[in-house]
């Protein structure tokens, strides 16, 4: 199933797909190019005949995928980096060839551990400021798993860009998009987003300190813990042994947000 059809809620999903397809069309036709600003929300929502909240949901999804980038006080722009509109290719290959979750994590660990080290050595002040902002947003949205996940993805994407190697950034983009595709379906069952935010903060601190070794260690610890946490999330969505219909558990409440 394509990534755009795996979003939360049927009606919400359909409206989000509508936004994604509209922006995709504008990019493919050249109406929007890398670095261009999106039309105002009011204009887009009126053109698509949807509410602004639905429009923001679609824009948030595209931002998490790296297609768009929001700038405070300036608007939303088409990203300058490698396009991620076709990043679902890894998800499709996984479905065809039976990629296992642990294999995805292993590949991610091998690449992103090194990427974190490069980021610690090469990150600009702008990259570090972006990482700090995403960490703060993660703490602010501990009680909103889907919004938290968007900032989680943005954090890792910023690290990929900070590494200064577009090939590694493209590889990470593809892997991250595939993982986001699955995680968006289980993140509401997350047990402790506060712990996850704390680990992201440690990665940020290591990069800010310009310590490649600490950044690699912090990233490795984070990814290992993330794999365990997501295995728990996945197990909580498994149907019981009997054939009785499964009732989906409501999302657990997380702790109150604490700023970094």
The ranges of the chain annotated as CATH 1.10.10.10 are: 3-78
Highest CATH level, class, for 89-235: mainly alpha
Could you tell me the two tokens for 256? 């109150």
pLDDT at 119 over 90: yes
The ranges of the chain annotated as CATH 1.20.120.530 are: 89-235
5-60 pLDDT, tens per residue? 343 444 566 777 788 888 888 887 888 888 899 999 899 999 898 988 888 888 88
Looking at CATH, the fold of the domain delimited by 3-78 is given as Arc Repressor Mutant, subunit A (1.10.10)
Residue scoring higher pLDDT (183 or 88):
183
pLDDT at 166 over 80: yes
Q: Is the pTM of this model over 0.85?
A: no
70-108 pLDDT, tens per residue? 887 788 898 876 544 444 555 545 554 567 777 888 888
């Amino acid at each position: 199933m394509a990534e755009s059809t795996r979003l939360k809620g049927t009606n919400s999903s359909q409206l989000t797909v509508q936004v994604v397809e509209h922006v995709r069309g504008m990019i493919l036709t050249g109406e929007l190019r890398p670095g261009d600003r999106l039309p105002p929300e009011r204009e887009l929502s009126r053109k698509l005949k949807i509410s602004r909240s639905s429009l923001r949901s679609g824009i948030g999804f595209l931002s998490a995928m790296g297609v768009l980038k929001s700038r405070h006080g300036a608007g939303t722009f088409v990203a300058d980096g490698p396009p991620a509109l076709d990043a679902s290719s890894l998800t499709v290959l996984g479905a065809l060839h039976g990629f296992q979750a642990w294999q995805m994590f292993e590949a991610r660990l091998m690449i992103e551990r090194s990427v974190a080290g490069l980021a610690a050595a090469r990150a600009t002040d702008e990259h570090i400021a972006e990482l700090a902002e995403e960490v703060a947003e993660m703490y602010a949205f501990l009680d909103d798993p889907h919004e938290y996940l968007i900032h989680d993805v943005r954090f890792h994407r910023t690290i990929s860009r900070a590494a200064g190697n577009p090939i590694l950034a493209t590889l990470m983009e593809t892997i991250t998009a595939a993982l986001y595709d699955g995680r968006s379906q289980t993140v509401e069952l997350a047990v402790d987003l506060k712990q996850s935010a704390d680990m992201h903060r440690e990665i940020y601190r290591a990069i800010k300190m310009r310590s490649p070794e600490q950044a690699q260690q912090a990233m490795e610890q984070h990814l290992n813990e993330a794999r365990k946490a997501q295995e728990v999330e996945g197990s909580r969505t498994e149907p019981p042994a009997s054939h009785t219909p499964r009732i989906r558990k409501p999302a657990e409440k997380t702790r109150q947000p604490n700023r970094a």
